[in-house]
Amino acid sequence: GSGGAAGLFAITDIARTQVNQNLGTKFTRNDLWKPEISIICAANLIDYWRKYVINRGTKTDLDMWTVKAYKYGGGNLTNPNYTSKAQAYYDKWKKFYDSYK
């Protein structure tokens, strides 16, 4: 959904840096429209916020970012361009999200 996409576009500089480090590459907003890249970014973003929450955040912080990424990724699951790698990333953070419901 567009709300989830906006959530990913609105990530902070710190989170963007973390995602770039995890991906080993730089990405732009246009890249987020590619299903595999968007899901990898979402997965890494969730990992970042999970660590943030453990260290100094709250469950609300985690929920806010997870739901945004979940909505965006979930909206793309029927895209035929998905790869097994993208699906694996999605499954990873979807499972984490479900554990917090």
Residues spanned by the domain of 69: 2-100
Q: What CA–CA distance (Å, rounded) separates 62 from 53?
A: 6
User: Cα 86 to chain center, whole Å?
Assistant: 11
DSSP line for 5-37: HHHHHT--HHHHHHHHHHHTS---TGGGGSHHH
Domain count, the chain: 1
| pTM of the shown model | 0.34
The pLDDT averaged over each successive group of 10 residues in the chain (101 residues) is 47 56 61 63 66 62 54 45 54 62 45
- The two structure tokens encoding residue 60: 């609300």
Q: What CA–CA distance (Å, rounded) separates 15 from 22?
A: 10
Residue 37's pLDDT is: 63
Q: Are 38 and 62 in contact (CB under 8 A)?
A: no
